[in-house]
Amino acid sequence: MEALSPMEKQLLLLLKEKEGRAKPEEIEMELVKVMNAASWLQSKGLVRMEERLIKEYELTKEGERFLKEGLPEKILIAKYDGKSIEEIEKEMGKKEAAIAIGWAKRKGWCDILKRDGKKILVTTEKGKEEASREQEEEKALKSIKRGEAIEEEIASILKRREAIREKEKIERTIVLTDKGWEIVRKGITIEEEISQLTPEIIRSGEWKKKKFRKYDVKAFAPSIYPGKLHPLTQLIEKIRKIFAEMGFKEIKGSYIESCLWNMDALFIPQDHPARDMQDTFYCKKPSTFEIDDSLLKKIARVHEDGGETGSKGWGYRFDENEAKRALLRTHTTVNTIRYLANNPEPPAKVFSIERVFRRENIDSTHLPEFHQIEGIIYEKDANFGMLKGILKEFYSRMGFEKIRFRPSYFPYTEPSLEIEVEWRGKWIELGGAGIFRPEVALPFGIEEPVLAWGLGLERMAMILLGLNDIRMLYFSDIGWLRSLPLL
């Protein structure tokens, strides 16, 4: 009782006067106040709202015209008895004449006879009698105009004549529940209460004489959904902030790259399965890139015999035309090798969060377009332990408590590892890392160790958002997006 607002108490008392049942419009309160109070009382179980769908009709422009001018068939009988169809069409218009004659014939008010080669309208006895009387359609149109109900049969005719349109509305009735009656029978008194403390009330001392309204902190309150960034955008911004706080600088690259920078410069052999058409998107325009001849020869030597890297290479003949082919980048490591080629002097700490493209079938765990989190540390004395420490720090800041590393293999790093995090009792792989091989670094004059990693964004988002289907990240499900908490 003490948690009820004056407006709720007033509505309960008014419902009591109506024997516990009334439509909102029948209650002697402002409608908006009635609905607000009813909503609060309903959440407290003191009233229930009964709803009934009812049909109503309203006049169209055609219906308004029928009321004002009369039904076309009545005008026809009154003015054109004995006239030719040609004359009628000339005066009424072909469309209107066809409608009027059609309804007059359907009702048995007229006949069409041939005289002297012309079609003549002849009124029947029934037509003469009925045309002077108020028709059922006219009565129904007047009833609708007054907001009254009409029979379904006549409504069907008027709808066919496009004189009325149907609309639906919900009729609501507020009903006192047993719990509501219990409160009402105990007696309700409405007294002045302070519901909001203001500086004026405090200064005046009025608060000492009046009663403070109690609030039910468990009462229903509608959810409010303010505007916010998409969860993937939130996640990207969070990752940017973490790397910036750790002293990294962000770099960006191009969606379209040559095979040389995307594959060959990273010592990925030209017969590697990832370079097949079924795994990589190759471009038609442009289909190739012009590559500096000295760079081509340098990378070719590394692949063929290792060049001056101390490696034996892959032992095959390097195809320069293959290196010039254009493709949609398959990873963002191409950004880092380009950066190092332009900035061979240490130290460097850079990262990127950008889209990559692979020819994948779309399903619950795969997309042909996704994001990769790339990063490198290039400095003297950088080592494998430092790489593991950086990755552990990053994932712990992202909220993962248990992190582990597994040995792995990548063509451009040695040693290499995969990062796994524990989530709901299972270990999930989130990315790969390692130290750039000499075959990758030395051709560009990079002599100090380069710690590198490539991490998946969407898979991390799935874990943090509790998703089982990666496609949800790109569905425009407004309800789901609104209900997501901020990351």
**How does pLDDT run across 3-47, given as a tens digit for each residue?**
788 888 999 999 999 999 999 999 999 999 999 999 889 988 999
What pLDDT does 1 receive?
Answer: 63
Which amino acid is it at 154?
I
Q: Identify the three-state secondary structure at position 283.
A: coil
What pLDDT does 220 receive?
Answer: 66
Q: Give me the CATH topology for the region 233-255+329-483.
A: BirA Bifunctional Protein; domain 2 (3.30.930)
For residue 464, which phi and psi values (nearest 5 degrees)? -65, -30
In 325-424, which ranges are E strands?
Answer: 326-328, 348-357, 369-378, 403-410, 413-423
Q: Where are the domains of the chain?
A: 6-55+169-212, 61-161, 233-255+329-483
| Size (the chain), residues | 487
Whole-number Å distance between alpha carbons of 464 and 446: 37
What pLDDT does 361 receive?
Answer: 86
Whole-number Å distance between alpha carbons of 260 and 299: 8
Cα distances from 196 to residues 37, 213, 400, in angstroms, run: 18, 9, 44
Which amino acid is it at 332?
T
Helix, strand, coil percentages (3-state) for the chain, rounded to 5, are: 40, 25, 35
Rounded to 5°, the CA angle 270-276-280 comes to 110
What pLDDT does 132 receive?
Answer: 87
What pLDDT does 219 receive?
Answer: 66
Contact assessment for residue 471 and residue 365, using Cβ atoms and an 8 Å cutoff = no
What pLDDT does 175 receive?
Answer: 95
Contact assessment for residue 158 and residue 143, using Cβ atoms and an 8 Å cutoff = no
Contact partners, residue 368, CB within 8 Å, separation at least 6: 281, 357, 358, 359, 360, 362
What pLDDT does 188 receive?
Answer: 85
Model-wide pTM > 0.85: no
What pLDDT does 48 receive?
Answer: 94
Is domain 6-55+169-212 classified as CATH 3.10.100.10? no
Whole-number Å distance between alpha carbons of 233 and 455: 16
What pLDDT does 469 receive?
Answer: 87
What pLDDT does 273 receive?
Answer: 87
Which residue's structure tokens are 């509305």?
A: 169
What pLDDT does 2 receive?
Answer: 67
Bridge partners of 350, per DSSP, are: 249, 376
Burial of 317 (0-12, 13-18, 19+ CB in 10 A): exposed
33: which 2 tokens? Answer: 């106040």
Same fold for the domain at 6-55+169-212 and the one at 61-161? yes
Q: Give me the CATH topology for the region 61-161.
A: Arc Repressor Mutant, subunit A (1.10.10)
Whole-number Å distance between alpha carbons of 431 and 413: 13
Cα distances from 83 to residues 120, 122, 146, 209, 394, in angstroms, run: 6, 8, 37, 90, 94
Which stretches of the chain score pLDDT less than 50?
A: none
Contact assessment for residue 335 and residue 354, using Cβ atoms and an 8 Å cutoff = yes
pLDDT digits (tens, 9 = 90+) for 459-480: 899 999 988 888 889 887 888 8
* Crossing angle between the packed helical segments 136-145 and 152-160, to the nearest 10 degrees: 100
Cα distances from 262 to residues 92, 118, 324, 366, 438, in angstroms, run: 78, 87, 11, 21, 17
Contact assessment for residue 362 and residue 330, using Cβ atoms and an 8 Å cutoff = no
What pLDDT does 425 receive?
Answer: 83
